[in-house]
Amino acid sequence: MEKYTEKVMEHFQNPRNVGEIPDADGVGTVGNPACGDIMKLFIKVKDGKIVDAKFKTFGCGAAIATSSMVTELVIGKTIEEALTISKATVAEALGGLPPQKMHCSNLAADALKVAIDEYKAKSGGKKEEEK
Protein backbone atom coordinates (compact mmCIF):
# COMPACT_ATOMS: atom_id res chain seq x y z
CA MET A 1 0.00 0.00 0.00
CA GLU A 2 1.40 3.40 -1.00
CA LYS A 3 2.04 5.95 1.70
CA TYR A 4 0.66 9.35 0.82
CA THR A 5 1.53 12.61 2.54
CA GLU A 6 -1.10 14.44 4.55
CA LYS A 7 -1.23 17.10 1.83
CA VAL A 8 -1.96 14.52 -0.90
CA MET A 9 -4.76 13.06 1.23
CA GLU A 10 -6.14 16.55 1.93
CA HIS A 11 -6.29 17.41 -1.79
CA PHE A 12 -7.77 14.00 -2.61
CA GLN A 13 -10.48 14.27 0.05
CA ASN A 14 -11.19 17.97 -0.52
CA PRO A 15 -10.09 18.75 -4.08
CA ARG A 16 -10.03 22.41 -5.04
CA ASN A 17 -11.48 23.87 -8.23
CA VAL A 18 -13.38 20.82 -9.45
CA GLY A 19 -15.60 21.42 -12.46
CA GLU A 20 -15.54 23.01 -15.86
CA ILE A 21 -15.17 26.54 -17.22
CA PRO A 22 -17.73 26.71 -20.06
CA ASP A 23 -15.99 29.61 -21.82
CA ALA A 24 -12.44 28.46 -21.02
CA ASP A 25 -9.58 30.10 -22.92
CA GLY A 26 -7.67 26.84 -22.94
CA VAL A 27 -8.51 23.20 -22.24
CA GLY A 28 -5.91 20.49 -21.79
CA THR A 29 -7.02 16.87 -21.97
CA VAL A 30 -4.45 14.18 -21.28
CA GLY A 31 -4.68 10.54 -20.41
CA ASN A 32 -2.55 7.63 -19.43
CA PRO A 33 -4.07 4.53 -21.04
CA ALA A 34 -1.78 2.27 -18.95
CA CYS A 35 -3.43 3.29 -15.68
CA GLY A 36 -6.71 4.66 -17.01
CA ASP A 37 -6.28 8.17 -15.58
CA ILE A 38 -7.85 10.93 -17.66
CA MET A 39 -7.43 14.58 -16.75
CA LYS A 40 -9.12 17.63 -18.24
CA LEU A 41 -7.86 21.06 -17.16
CA PHE A 42 -9.62 24.35 -17.98
CA ILE A 43 -7.97 27.78 -17.75
CA LYS A 44 -9.40 31.29 -17.97
CA VAL A 45 -6.92 34.00 -18.91
CA LYS A 46 -7.28 37.76 -18.51
CA ASP A 47 -4.53 40.27 -19.34
CA GLY A 48 -1.94 37.51 -19.60
CA LYS A 49 -2.79 36.06 -16.17
CA ILE A 50 -4.59 32.84 -15.34
CA VAL A 51 -7.56 34.08 -13.35
CA ASP A 52 -9.32 30.73 -12.97
CA ALA A 53 -8.54 27.05 -13.38
CA LYS A 54 -10.78 24.03 -12.95
CA PHE A 55 -10.36 20.33 -13.56
CA LYS A 56 -12.19 17.09 -14.09
CA THR A 57 -10.16 13.99 -13.42
CA PHE A 58 -11.05 10.34 -13.70
CA GLY A 59 -8.38 8.44 -11.88
CA CYS A 60 -6.62 7.45 -8.70
CA GLY A 61 -6.32 9.57 -5.58
CA ALA A 62 -2.90 10.85 -6.61
CA ALA A 63 -4.25 11.98 -10.02
CA ILE A 64 -7.05 13.90 -8.30
CA ALA A 65 -4.67 15.43 -5.74
CA THR A 66 -2.18 16.57 -8.42
CA SER A 67 -4.99 18.06 -10.53
CA SER A 68 -6.24 19.98 -7.51
CA MET A 69 -2.73 21.19 -6.66
CA VAL A 70 -2.03 22.35 -10.24
CA THR A 71 -5.13 24.55 -10.23
CA GLU A 72 -4.02 26.11 -6.93
CA LEU A 73 -0.50 26.68 -8.27
CA VAL A 74 -1.57 28.41 -11.51
CA ILE A 75 -4.35 30.76 -10.41
CA GLY A 76 -2.92 34.27 -10.34
CA LYS A 77 0.19 33.33 -12.34
CA THR A 78 1.14 34.78 -15.72
CA ILE A 79 1.29 32.38 -18.67
CA GLU A 80 5.10 32.46 -18.49
CA GLU A 81 5.08 31.66 -14.77
CA ALA A 82 2.57 28.86 -15.29
CA LEU A 83 4.82 27.29 -17.92
CA THR A 84 7.56 26.83 -15.29
CA ILE A 85 5.33 24.46 -13.31
CA SER A 86 6.78 20.99 -13.81
CA LYS A 87 5.90 17.53 -12.56
CA ALA A 88 8.53 18.04 -9.83
CA THR A 89 6.90 21.35 -8.79
CA VAL A 90 3.55 19.60 -8.39
CA ALA A 91 4.98 16.64 -6.46
CA GLU A 92 6.98 18.94 -4.16
CA ALA A 93 3.94 21.12 -3.49
CA LEU A 94 2.15 17.98 -2.30
CA GLY A 95 5.05 16.96 -0.07
CA GLY A 96 6.11 14.16 -2.40
CA LEU A 97 4.44 11.23 -4.14
CA PRO A 98 5.23 7.51 -4.06
CA PRO A 99 7.54 6.71 -7.02
CA GLN A 100 4.88 4.56 -8.72
CA LYS A 101 2.49 7.53 -8.64
CA MET A 102 4.82 10.14 -10.16
CA HIS A 103 3.17 9.62 -13.56
CA CYS A 104 0.06 11.24 -12.06
CA SER A 105 1.89 14.52 -11.51
CA ASN A 106 3.18 14.27 -15.08
CA LEU A 107 -0.42 14.26 -16.27
CA ALA A 108 -1.29 17.41 -14.31
CA ALA A 109 1.75 19.30 -15.64
CA ASP A 110 1.10 18.00 -19.17
CA ALA A 111 -2.57 19.04 -19.07
CA LEU A 112 -1.51 22.54 -18.03
CA LYS A 113 0.90 22.83 -20.99
CA VAL A 114 -1.77 21.60 -23.42
CA ALA A 115 -4.31 24.12 -22.05
CA ILE A 116 -1.77 26.96 -22.36
CA ASP A 117 -0.88 25.93 -25.92
CA GLU A 118 -4.59 25.96 -26.83
CA TYR A 119 -4.99 29.40 -25.24
CA LYS A 120 -1.99 30.69 -27.23
CA ALA A 121 -3.34 29.22 -30.46
CA LYS A 122 -6.75 30.82 -29.85
CA SER A 123 -5.25 34.19 -28.95
CA GLY A 124 -3.01 34.25 -32.00
CA GLY A 125 0.16 33.54 -30.05
CA LYS A 126 2.68 30.86 -30.89
CA LYS A 127 3.07 27.60 -29.03
CA GLU A 128 6.06 27.43 -26.71
CA GLU A 129 8.17 25.22 -28.96
CA GLU A 130 7.65 27.54 -31.94
CA LYS A 131 9.26 30.58 -30.27
Q: Which of 30, 63, 104, 111 is catalytic?
A: 104
Of residues 35, 33, 98, 29, the one with CA closest to residue 67: 29
Has 60 been annotated as catalytic? no
Residue 74 C-beta-side C-alpha neighbours within 13 Å: 36
Q: Which of 35, 38, 51, 102 is catalytic?
A: 35
Catalytic residues: 35, 104
